[in-house]
Amino acid sequence: MGLAPVTSWLACPTCGLALSLDERTLGCRTGHRFDLARQGHVNLLGRAAPANADTTEMVAARARFLGAGHYQPIVDALVARTRSARRIVEVGAGTGHYLARVLDAHPAATGLATDVSPMAARRAAKAHDRMGSVVADTWAGLPLRSGVADALLCVFAPRNPVEFARVTGPGGLLLVVTPNAGHLAQARERLGLLGIEGDKLARLNRSMAGAFEAIWSQRIRWTMDLDAGSLQDLVQMGPNAFHEHGEVVDGLEVDADVQLSIFRRAARQ
């Protein structure tokens, strides 16, 4: 099904008008055209991907790690809090893993994954038959029409509160997953991985003020018994892949500690 079920959600990144699908080309009435890739996704970025966009190797590592179920508690929490949503968007979606699992649990829902990495969007295009995939930059503005999402997922991804409020319908939900200070502590200590800012949650809540109201928050903690291959994938699937770190030589028990914050779109913008 690919992009067909979500075409009406999309807006031309050049002029902002609605897009329609004609065979394998998206277009607006002013003549801007965007060809679908063979894998089924479409690039609406309008420029080259940034240097820190996920690479083919990073996407493959993430697919292996998430596919092994190591972050299943996050999936379970998202599923439980999106039961009433029918139009679900995941920004910074990577492989589309979280959105695909949410759609598995909610057969009446349809989804759209966005990511700045063409390699990630390619993988997400095949993640679920009720999910479309688009290359887009959250910071630059999402190529989506206003009010199209009942729920918006943002899992370890960049946040743009103004854009999130625009594309989320009245009363719609924003579900944000952020790492707490102790997340992956053992791996960070052993391998010298990037740190986590201590005031991350407070900054998140401040950034959403005015656009969204905070309605619920859940701390999720569990321990992962990672073999050397999974630990290597954990390191390689995110920003640490671009930085120097210690060598993975064996497995490790690693604590996961994340926060699920849920916001409702404010009635007045």
Give me the chain's average pLDDT, please: 95
pLDDT at 2: 79
User: In CATH, which superfamily holds the domain spanning 54-265?
Assistant: Vaccinia Virus protein VP39 (3.40.50.150)
Tokens of 28: 């607006």
pLDDT at 1: 63
Per-residue CA distances from 4 to 12, 29, 98, 250 (Å): 15, 18, 21, 45
Percentage above 90 pLDDT, the chain? 92
pLDDT at 79: 98
pLDDT 10s digits, 120-155: 999 999 999 999 999 999 999 999 999 999 999 999
Angle between helices 72-80 and 97-105 (to 10 degrees): 50
pLDDT at 267: 73
The parts of the chain modelled with pLDDT lower than 70 are: 1, 268-269
pLDDT at 268: 60
- Would the pTM of this model clear 0.85, i.e. be above it? yes
